[in-house]
């Protein structure tokens, strides 16, 4: 069998995938797990699963985990710093390791890039100013947060969005890189924001949902994975993720222009970076006694459940929505100092659609049918011909409004 031609390597150069939560910390018995021991190895770890009440956006959760092996020589993987125009910057090309026992050695830390650290600012000095502590390991950062964070404290939590696939579902994890006391003094200033670079294709625009007032946007994000099924791949792979774009159904003309300007793709894959809002509790509905189904009311009547227990069960079973709502494309100032110009972070034909179908995602006819390779939706990998300019072919989706 002839080998297929080598495909372009997928890269995230210049990509952004971050979040920011502003609101009240929700600390309970499930927030921390300290010095847990793995059942399969010598791994000892701490975890943080922090809920932040972000006001209208609901309670959004972010997490952190880290640890060490009790029977091994532990190291931390870091990168160095470099000086550019008299300013220190992270040097991502200069990668090295440091011993676990040196993770608090000041002379060692001076040589490490700032983005290697988890930064926590939960204390104030005598003048009332918040001061930060930096940690190389999440293990230490989590212990410090546990000592200093109380429920109800208004915080600003930042981090990176991490994508992975479990079964047929794309998971989005919010991995914390910093936690600070926030200056937000009322709930109107609470927020749950994200910035995400993605790839859009010809069929990325879904059918409008009139009830919700949104259009689904089927974007492709890239993230690193070590394994794909049973195969070790150690590379960036594409994940298909559904976002939402809110539309004003009373202004059809404006919707048409926005879609044509921002989301329409004629050929290949367009790379674009968006700002948006996160919400994780929009569908949570508190059940009342009138909402309890009759069969459960019968159980209350014969004493198996109290009214309070039934209400709690019915409310808990109500599903929560997790939505990523796109608001606007990011504008970046580029060029030399003094003559910078604003540019929308949008780049056409960054990849072909075929570039996103990596070889290991396909099961070769000659390979064992039992190979555990997760399925990947390839319905969108048709030819890259430019669409017709006729209004009928380009704007059929508008008839759904």
Instruction: Give 20-69+114-188's CATH code, choosing from 3.30.1140, 1.10.357, 2.40.50, 2.60.120.
Output: 2.40.50
Residue that is written with structure tokens 């939960």 in the block:
122
Which pLDDT score, from 0 to 100, does residue 160 have? 97
Centre a 10 Å sphere on the Cβ of residue 382 and count the other Cβ atoms it contains: 12
- The ranges assigned to domains in the chain are 20-69+114-188, 190-280+323-401, 285-319
**Range of lowest pLDDT (67-71, 86-90, 270-274):** 86-90
Which pLDDT score, from 0 to 100, does residue 196 have? 98
79 half-sphere exposure, CB direction, 13 A CA radius: 13
Write the CA distances from 240 to 77, 202, 286, 295, 377, integer angstroms.
30, 14, 32, 41, 8
Q: Yes or no: say if 23 and 152 are a contact pair by the CB < 8 Å rule.
A: no
Write the CA distances from 224 to 4, 217, 270, 271, integer angstroms.
23, 22, 20, 18
pLDDT category of residue 23 using cuts at 50, 70 and 90: very high
Comparing C-alpha atoms, which of 204, 206, 208, 244 is closest to residue 356?
Answer: 204
Query: Cα 193 vs. chain centroid, distance in angstroms?
Result: 10
Alpha helical stretches, state H, 259-390: 294-301, 307-316
Which pLDDT score, from 0 to 100, does residue 301 have? 77
Arithmetic mean of pLDDT over the chain: 85
Whether the predicted pLDDT of 82 surpasses 80:
yes
pLDDT in tens, 318-351: 456 789 999 999 998 888 887 888 888 999 999 9
Which pLDDT score, from 0 to 100, does residue 6 have? 54
pLDDT category of residue 22 using cuts at 50, 70 and 90: very high
399 or 60, greater pLDDT: 60
Which pLDDT score, from 0 to 100, does residue 135 have? 97
Looking at the whole model, is its pTM more than 0.75? yes
Write the CA distances from 258 to 215, 226, 241, 276, 369, integer angstroms.
12, 38, 21, 15, 46
Distance CA 336, CA 345 (A): 17
Length of the chain: 401
């Amino acid at each position: 069998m002839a080998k297929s031609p080598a495909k372009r390597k997928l890269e995230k150069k210049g990509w952004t995938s971050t979040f920011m939560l502003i609101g009240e910390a929700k600390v309970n018995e499930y927030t921390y797990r300290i010095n847990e021991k793995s059942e399969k190895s010598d791994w000892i770890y701490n975890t943080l699963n922090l809920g932040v009440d972000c006001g209208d956006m609901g309670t959004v959760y972010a997490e952190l985990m880290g640890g060490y092996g009790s029977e091994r020589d532990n190291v931390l993987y870091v990168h160095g710093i470099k000086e550019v125009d008299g300013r220190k910057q992270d040097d991502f090309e200069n990668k090295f390791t440091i011993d676990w026992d040196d993770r608090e050695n000041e002379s060692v830390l001076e040589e490490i890039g700032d983005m290697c650290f988890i930064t926590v600012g939960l204390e104030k000095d005598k003048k009332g100013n918040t001061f930060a502590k930096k940690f190389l390991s999440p293990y230490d950062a989590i212990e410090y947060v546990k000592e200093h964070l109380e429920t109800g404290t208004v915080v600003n939590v930042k981090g990176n969005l991490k994508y992975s696939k479990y079964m047929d579902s794309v998971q989005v994890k919010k991995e914390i890189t910093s936690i600070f006391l926030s200056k937000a003094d009322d709930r109107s200033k609470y927020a749950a924001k994200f910035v995400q670079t993605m790839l859009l294709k010809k069929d990325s625009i879904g059918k409008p949902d009139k009830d919700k007032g949104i259009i689904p946007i089927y974007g492709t994000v890239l993230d690193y994975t070590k394994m794909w099924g049973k195969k070790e791949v150690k590379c960036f792979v594409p994940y298909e993720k559904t976002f939402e774009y809110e539309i004003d159904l009373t202004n059809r003309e404006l919707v048409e222009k926005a879609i044509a300007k921002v989301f329409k793709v004629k050929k290949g894959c367009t790379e674009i970076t968006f700002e948006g809002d996160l919400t994780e509790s929009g569908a949570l509905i508190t059940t009342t006694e009138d909402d309890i189904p009759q069969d459960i009311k019968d159980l209350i009547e014969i004493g198996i459940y109290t009214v309070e227990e039934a209400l709690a069960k019915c409310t808990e079973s109500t599903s929560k929505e997790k939505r990523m709502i796109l608001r606007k494309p990011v504008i970046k100032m580029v060029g030399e100092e003094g003559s910078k110009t604003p540019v929308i972070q949008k780049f056409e034909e960054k990849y072909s659609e075929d570039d996103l179908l990596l070889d290991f995602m396909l099961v070769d006819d000659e390979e064992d049918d039992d190979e555990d390779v997760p399925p990947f939706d390839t319905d969108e990998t048709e030819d890259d011909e430019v669409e017709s300019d006729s209004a009928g072919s380009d704007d059929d989706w508008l008839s759904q409004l």
